């Protein structure tokens, strides 16, 4: 038997192991299998949606998927559509984005601790990282109503005055999570791009000899997953130099690191970040992940989608023009497709009688309903994952109009947070989710 906190180590590199049978806890009455931890994920989509293309028909299990949600047809049993939730903070993108996970109006750069960080404080004490905050777009410059636009680059706040900037470079995020560089040799090997898997292979072989056939399969699948992300990162960040290695061993001072860039393809970049989230959760490196699919005031161009010619923010102010509405819907549908990818990845990770999706609560939404006029009521919200039996999926839950903070308050309770309210708001538990 080995410890749950067991790591694979080699030449300064270190990666956490996935849950294996050999890690079963021992009590006074013999061996018992530990229950996987409950995880929380939040996925933010900018600029709202076109309501008529998002809103579903019907309630309960027999609702009809809308055009934007159609890509999730094969996954409808894994999530619920939640309507009736309002962003109590209206106004501009900075204000509404800041309120997405905090429930409060930002004033003079001050907000409140966001729900992801509250959950991280509650459950993150036994993991290498309390939380993981990722994104795909750098902060923007300028200000709106006295607040820096850069504030809208995140929805995560560790305190009222401290926002957490998302890591947008997948290579940096990967190295932070799965490389532990200690000593000159470890740095040299890491900079020469020797695979993390290669560095820990001997340690993995030793564990494999003691493991059951099921554990051997899990370990092989996990190491292959880590390696595949590495290989993909090499290929997409700098395709021309994917096979490049230094012609000599540089000194630590003059070490010429290989390129660390941002993938050019939007879907590749976003899915890489999702893969990293899954790996981090799978290995219990963290239990809380937040993903900014783009800046809250995003002007990303989506011309790679057939029929789309404008930037996301521009077409979100559609003024009911059919061409803009169609493009707006295409972009929202694309984001939902990426969310479907994440659901499938979580679902694919076996955790012994359940999967990673079963043991997660995944919140997906936008800080506004419709970018045209910054409408704040009836936000587009999806809730995926089983929450270890605490969520009843496959439904449209139509709630009486109420603040989004009620959802955060309810989710916090499912993670053991006991508080009279959520960040000073008049909070109520939403019973209809279970």
Q: Which two tokens stand for residue 35?
A: 């229950």
Residue bearing tokens 């799965």: 178
> What's the pLDDT score for residue 98?
95
Long-range CB contact pairs, 388-393, < 8 A, 24+: 388/35, 388/38, 388/354, 388/358, 388/359, 390/361, 390/414, 390/433, 390/434, 391/80, 391/361, 391/433, 391/434, 392/80, 392/433, 392/434, 393/77, 393/78, 393/79, 393/80
pLDDT score recorded for residue 196: 66
Confidence at residue 27, expressed as pLDDT on a 0 to 100 scale? 39
Q: How do strand 79-86 and strand 396-403 relate by DSSP bridges?
A: parallel
- Which residues of the chain form CATH 3.40.720.10? 41-168+265-433
Residue 242 CB partners (closer than 8 Å, separation 6+)? 234, 235
Q: What are phi and psi of 4, to 5 degrees?
A: -65, -25
CB 39 within 8 A of CB 359: yes
Angle at 227 between CA 221 and CA 229, to 5 degrees: 105
Give the strand pairing for 39-44 and 288-292. parallel
pLDDT value at residue 28: 42
Beta strands 157-159 and 25-27, pairing class: unpaired
Beta-bridged to residue 403, according to DSSP, are 86
In what helix (H) or strand (E) does residue 334 lie, and over which residues does it extend? Answer: helix 322-348
Name the CATH architecture for the domain at 41-168+265-433.
Answer: 3-Layer(aba) Sandwich (3.40)
Burial (CB < 10 A; 0-12, 13-18, 19+), residue 400, is: exposed
By the 8 A CB rule, do 361 and 391 touch? yes
pLDDT for the residue 344: 98
Q: Give residue 239's pLDDT.
A: 47
The pLDDT of residue 192 is 52
The DSSP bridge partners found for residue 347 are none
The pLDDT, as a whole number, for residue 162 is: 94
Tell me, what's the pLDDT at 128? Answer: 84
- Those residues of the chain that have pLDDT short of 70 are 1-14, 23-33, 179-197, 199-200, 228, 231-260
Look at strands 147-148 and 143-144 and give their pairing.
antiparallel
pLDDT of residue 353: 87
Please report the pLDDT score of residue 249 as a whole number: 31
Contact indicator for 385, 361 with CB cutoff of 8 Å: yes
The answer to whether 337 and 329 have CB atoms below 8 angstroms apart is no
Instruction: Indicate the pairing of strand 79-86 with strand 381-384.
Output: antiparallel
């Amino acid at each position: 038997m080995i410890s749950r906190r067991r790591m694979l180590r080699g030449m300064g590199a270190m990666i956490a192991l996935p849950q294996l049978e050999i890690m079963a806890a021992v009590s006074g009455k013999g061996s018992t299998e530990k229950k996987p931890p409950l995880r929380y994920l939040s996925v933010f989509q900018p600029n709202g949606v076109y309501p008529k293309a998002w809103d579903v028909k019907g309630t309960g299990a027999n609702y009809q998927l809308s055009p934007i949600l159609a890509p999730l047809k094969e996954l409808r049993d894994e999530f619920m559509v939640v309507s009736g939730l309002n962003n109590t903070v209206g106004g501009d993108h900075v204000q509404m984005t800041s309120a997405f996970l905090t429930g409060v109006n930002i004033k003079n750069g001050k907000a409140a601790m966001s729900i992801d960080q509250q959950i991280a404080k509650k459950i993150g004490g036994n993991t290498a990282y309390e939380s993981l905050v990722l994104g795909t777009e750098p902060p923007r410059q300028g200000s709106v109503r006295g607040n820096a636009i850069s504030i809208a680059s995140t929805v995560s706040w560790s305190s009222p005055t401290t926002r957490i900037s998302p890591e947008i470079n997948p290579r940096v995020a990967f190295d932070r999570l799965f490389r532990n560089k200690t000593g000159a040799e470890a740095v040299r090997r890491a900079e020469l791009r020797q695979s993390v898997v290669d560095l820990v292979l001997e340690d993995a072989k030793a564990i494999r000899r003691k493991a059951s056939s099921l554990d051997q399969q899990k370990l092989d699948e996990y190491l292959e997953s880590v390696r595949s992300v590495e290989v993909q990162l090499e290929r997409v960040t700098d395709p021309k130099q994917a096979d490049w290695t230094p012609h000599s061993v540089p000194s630590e001072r003059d070490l010429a690191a290989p390129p660390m860039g941002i993938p050019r393809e939007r879907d590749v970049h976003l899915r890489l970040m999702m893969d990293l989230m899954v790996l981090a959760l799978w290995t219990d490196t963290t239990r809380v992940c937040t993903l900014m699919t783009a800046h809250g005031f995003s002007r990303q161009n989506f011309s790679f989608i057939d029929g789309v010619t404008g930037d996301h923010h521009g077409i979100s102010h559609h003024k009911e023009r059919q061409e803009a509405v169609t493009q707006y819907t295409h972009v929202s549908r694309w984001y939902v497709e990426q969310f479907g990818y994440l659901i499938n990845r979580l679902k694919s990770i076996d955790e012994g009688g359940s999967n990673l999706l079963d043991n997660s609560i995944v919140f997906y939404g936008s800080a506004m309903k419709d970018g045209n006029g910054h409408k704040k009521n009836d936000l587009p919200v999806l809730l995926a994952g089983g929450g270890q039996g605490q969520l009843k999926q496959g439904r449209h839950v139509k709630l009486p109009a109420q603040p989004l903070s009620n959802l955060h308050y309810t989710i916090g309770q499912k993670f053991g947070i006991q508080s009279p309210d959520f960040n000073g708001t008049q909070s109520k538990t939403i019973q209809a989710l279970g």
